[in-house]
Structure 1
Amino acid sequence: MISVFDLFKIGIGPSSSHTVGPMVAANLFLQALDKATTLDKVKNIEIELFGSLAATGKGHATDTAILLGLLGHKPATIDTQLTEQYLAPIFSGHRLQLAGKYDIEFDAENDIHWFGDTVMPYHPNAMTLHAIFHDGSSYQQTFYSVGGGFVINENDATTPEEDHAAPTIASIPYPFNTGAELLEQCQKHQLTISQLVLANECHYREEQEVLDYLDAIWQAMQDCVSRGCKNHGTLPGGLEVKRRAQALYLQLCAEKEQNLNTNDKLAAMDWVDLYALAVNEENANGGNVVTAPTNGAAGIIPAVMHYYRDFLPAYSIEGARKFLLNATAIGSLIKENASISGAEVGCQGEVGSACAMAASALAEIMNGDAAKCLNAAEIGIEHNLGLTCDPVGGLVQVPCIERNAMGAVKAINAARLACRGNGQHFVSFDKVVETMKKTGEDMNDKYKETSRGGLAVFADNRIVTASQGVSVKYSQC
């Protein structure tokens, strides 16, 4: 079972698979290298990026993320205000402090190699790190960033599943591998989805540890929205996209103070749009966000949770915990049975997954049973099927930021629609997840986070794409 600790992680923008994952991979490489030898024997590091990691890597800050990881920084703890300061010695002096301790030569122009037309066998997000030692020998590892900040190395990717060691911990209380099994467990034991997930989480950890983590994730989401509503300016990367959240926030606050929206029954949707825009502008600016389940779709769950907090009756911290636990079940099923990676199945795997997770969780908050929650999740995915991942300029800005606002509103509608029904639906949750996977397999690669098709090509011929050499340099407002 994928834990809430795995699915929701505090990271750095703009991409969980192209930024967070590569930074994690660099940390794993340092750990493996340190076990194989001593880091002071390293003379040079070379980096090879393949497939989608190379095609949109510059716009997604993949190169700088790996360098930050090699410096010893981690996604959850890095101070994004100091990113340029950390990177300055590398770009200005061609020196890299490996693990923050061992000074080596590094030339980003010559030591990072981009192979956008080469797709490795296991996953389109692949990278190989080489360490060259003073005696001429070398050490290397290949990693795959499979979405949501999850990373596996080549050995794990190529080892048959039956050859993996059997678990040493007894099975969890309520195992499930499909939506049908999840529903059966809930109905058999008379549990809500959030109660079932909490029981499974507590098999590995003390309950208070789980609750504290859920509270920390929710607080990080609220902090991100707050920062996004305060910051202004232009997003980095060359598209000159202006941040809109602050202006929208001030406008909505003024209208609220003057009671201008008292007769507008859909005014709440404007706030939902704001919450999503705020998060994804922070993400596009390289700030700290929560992968939910990815960075590209990081605004949907926080936006819907803020909708619950601000517009539904009887908000409580217990309800926020239920929301995240329920969403964990849905996200786990999608990741295990399809994908949450835009490079693998397109944006239906990112925005579609986040929409489904938020819809199911909100349905439970609205007193929907497990059947209604799964119905809401199915609606959320079904109406995102075929959604392409075509970031303009290789940047997680257009159409990504607005797409989160649309996904959040769609999740709310899906939850409300499901709760008005009886939980029965013509297409099951499992069938729509299977359909999403097959649709992703059939989708042309140019529509899967390569910036070679769709809006990325046709939006504006004046745009200089990332493949032409625009590398993101983040600056915090």
Structure 2
Amino acid sequence: MAEERISIFDMFKIGIGPSSSHTLGPWRAAQRFVQTLDDRQVLTKVHQVNILLYGSLAKTGVGHGTDIAVLLGLSGDDPVTFSVEDVLPKVESIKSAGKLLLAGRQEVDFSYNEHLLFLFDQSLSFHPNAVTFQVFLDDGTAMSETYYSIGGGFVVQENDTESVLTEVDLPFPIDTAEELMKWCMRTGLKVSELVLENELSWRPEQETKEGILKIFATIKECIYKGCHTEGLLPGGLKVERRAAKLNKRMVKGRPYSDYDSWIVAIREGGKDFGYILDCVSCFALAVNEENASFGRVVTAPTNGAAGVIPAVLQYYIAFHDAYQEDKIIQFIATASEIGAIFKKGATISAAMGGCQAEIGVSSAMAAGALTECLGGSQRQVLMAAEIAMEHHLGLTCDPIGGLVQIPCIERNTMGAVKAITAAQLALQSNPDKAKVSLDAVVSTMWETAQDMNVKYKETADGGLAVKVPLSLPEC
């Protein structure tokens, strides 16, 4: 089996919320299926399509927007560019018209209730997040394909290798933290510098840097929009957005007109511990409130945990005077390598590993990135990532109502604060005296995931999802 080579742009993807595994992944699977129909020159012969959702995609599919994602993907829309304001109206139009325009070209009759099936009691063995697309052709034949959304927007088929990414020969191949440290010691390069050297195997350096800044632009827009949007989140839980109100209290009337002047207004609030804590929480809330509202977010490494890394990066920018392109590139590059190690050695899918695989991994990524950017050594970077994950081990995924709202949104604030704490601890510690390695905690996280009861793995069958009546407010 080919070794998995993961780029920055595999770990960080631009998409639409609320879930990378339940929204972005199925959306990409639908696009891939339509492309297969086109490649086989049968798209214009399709007269019926069925969509079968299995396991976790069925149980929390409506709350996570899986039904919406597959319909838009089959329609030929792209999550990177499709207008977030048009998401719900277009799906409602498909439902009311009873028509689906495959790839924007082939119209078929479509009944939401008859042709989109939620198979709550069926799960496929390869992965809990499975979707099968079936089409019937004019000549009486049929074809089907099954896809698995394995976390973070990654999609595979059962006969794929796990690595469906372009195979490349990297100058510094890395699968474990030990291998990462080996290359750092041999070359003297920082983690981010190794990452950028590896990225040259895919594309020129300038293209990589421009791509990272495009990722940051999306993060920046998401935070700013989330901090200035009030109202209730969709989905029926009547959860009130909190970031905008918290932001108003933070800036206390200080004037600003855009993101750049907003950063200045935030800095003018000082560096009181409580104030900084409020800011970090606000940043994380803002992103995940946008995520829960079908907004444009960046998987970091997932949508459910999309607020942790942006919140810590925003903290670094605002309170360490680091609004500089090179610092932002350094932060995201470092974070991507930590995330890749977890994906290769464990999982970033809550349906496989619970929320430790999402909030835990994102916290570790943010902790390592912040540590390097604050001047930490390579060993301190890995130590910070280990500390952050060590204190997320066993975290369950139990979304109330199958929505990425309770407890998911607040968990992003916790993950961000833990990341900053982990970075500070690592920076004040001697990694040579650490008792737990990053590889040990990755292995432990995977073993914990395998031992975890399935009802705590994004099924909404356990934990808070069954203990809290849907009519109760979040706090």
**TM-score in terms of structure 2 length:** 0.93
- What CA deviation, in whole Å up to 9, does each residue of 1:271-324 have, x standing for no partner? 000000000000000010000000000000000000010001454210110000
Aligned counterpart in structure 1 of residue 371 of structure 2, from 363, 374, 384? 363
The answer to whether residue 266 in structure 2 is matched with residue 268 in structure 1 is: no
* Identical pairs, percent: 48
Aligned pairs for 1:272-291 within 5 A: 272-291=280-299
Change in CA separation of 1:119 and 1:92 when aligned onto 2, cut-off 3 Å: same
Deviation of 1:462 after TM superposition, in Å, equals 4.4
- 1:230 aligns to what SS in structure 2? coil
- In 2, the alpha carbon distance for the partners of 1:396 and 1:124 equals 18
Aligned counterpart in structure 2 of residue 414 of structure 1, from 416, 419, 422? 422
Deviation of 1:264 after TM superposition, in Å, equals 3.0
- In 1, the alpha carbon distance for the partners of 2:242 and 2:209 equals 34
| 8 Å contact from structure 2 (residues 87, 294) kept in 1 | no
| 8 Å contact from structure 1 (residues 42, 131) kept in 2 | yes
- In 2, the alpha carbon distance for the partners of 1:248 and 1:11 equals 26
- In 1, the alpha carbon distance for the partners of 2:267 and 2:215 equals 33
Report the equivalent of 1:134: 138
- 2:155 aligns to what SS in structure 1? strand
Aligned pairs for 1:348-387 within 5 A: 348-387=356-395
- What CA deviation, in whole Å up to 9, does each residue of 1:5-32 have, x standing for no partner? 1110100000000000000000000011
Aligned counterpart in structure 1 of residue 223 of structure 2, from 198, 222, 225? 225
Report the equivalent of 1:69: 73
Residue identity opposite 1:36 in structure 2: R
Aligned counterpart in structure 2 of residue 451 of structure 1, from 460, 463, 471? 460
- In 2, the alpha carbon distance for the partners of 1:381 and 1:11 equals 25
Deviation of 1:259 after TM superposition, in Å, equals 11
- In 1, the alpha carbon distance for the partners of 2:307 and 2:19 equals 12
- In 2, the alpha carbon distance for the partners of 1:263 and 1:142 equals 52
- In 1, the alpha carbon distance for the partners of 2:175 and 2:270 equals 46
Question: In terms of mean alpha carbon deviation, does 220-229 or 77-86 score higher?
Answer: 77-86
Aligned pairs for 1:84-95 within 5 A: 84-95=88-99
The answer to whether residue 180 in structure 2 is matched with residue 144 in structure 1 is: no
- What CA deviation, in whole Å up to 9, does each residue of 1:389-422 have, x standing for no partner? 0000000000000000111011000001001012
Residue identity opposite 2:393 in structure 1: L
- In 2, the alpha carbon distance for the partners of 1:456 and 1:147 equals 21
Report the equivalent of 2:345: 337
RMSD after superposition: 2.0
Figure out how many residues of one structure are paired with residues of the other and give that number: 458
- In 1, the alpha carbon distance for the partners of 2:336 and 2:285 equals 23
Report the equivalent of 2:107: 103
Report the equivalent of 2:442: 433
| 8 Å contact from structure 1 (residues 141, 154) kept in 2 | no
Report the equivalent of 1:182: 180
Deviation of 1:260 after TM superposition, in Å, equals 10
The answer to whether residue 203 in structure 2 is matched with residue 205 in structure 1 is: yes
Unaligned 5+ residue runs, structure 1?
Answer: 465-477
Question: In terms of mean alpha carbon deviation, does 286-295 or 259-268 score higher?
Answer: 259-268
- What CA deviation, in whole Å up to 9, does each residue of 1:109-155 have, x standing for no partner? 01011112222111000010001112221110000000000000232
Report the equivalent of 1:467: none
The answer to whether residue 333 in structure 2 is matched with residue 321 in structure 1 is: no
Report the equivalent of 1:2: 6
Question: In terms of mean alpha carbon deviation, does 339-348 or 148-157 score higher?
Answer: 148-157
The answer to whether residue 51 in structure 2 is matched with residue 47 in structure 1 is: yes
Question: In terms of mean alpha carbon deviation, does 32-41 or 378-387 score higher?
Answer: 32-41
- 1:296 aligns to what SS in structure 2? coil
Deviation of 1:38 after TM superposition, in Å, equals 2.7
Report the equivalent of 2:20: 16
| 8 Å contact from structure 2 (residues 250, 266) kept in 1 | no
- What CA deviation, in whole Å up to 9, does each residue of 1:133-191 have, x standing for no partner? 1222111000000000000023215x9x9xx9995x4x211111110110111011000
Residue identity opposite 1:428 in structure 2: S
The answer to whether residue 469 in structure 2 is matched with residue 460 in structure 1 is: yes
- 2:411 aligns to what SS in structure 1? helix
Aligned counterpart in structure 2 of residue 393 of structure 1, from 367, 385, 401? 401
Residue identity opposite 1:246 in structure 2: A
| 8 Å contact from structure 1 (residues 33, 139) kept in 2 | no
Deviation of 1:263 after TM superposition, in Å, equals 7.7
- In 2, the alpha carbon distance for the partners of 1:96 and 1:246 equals 37
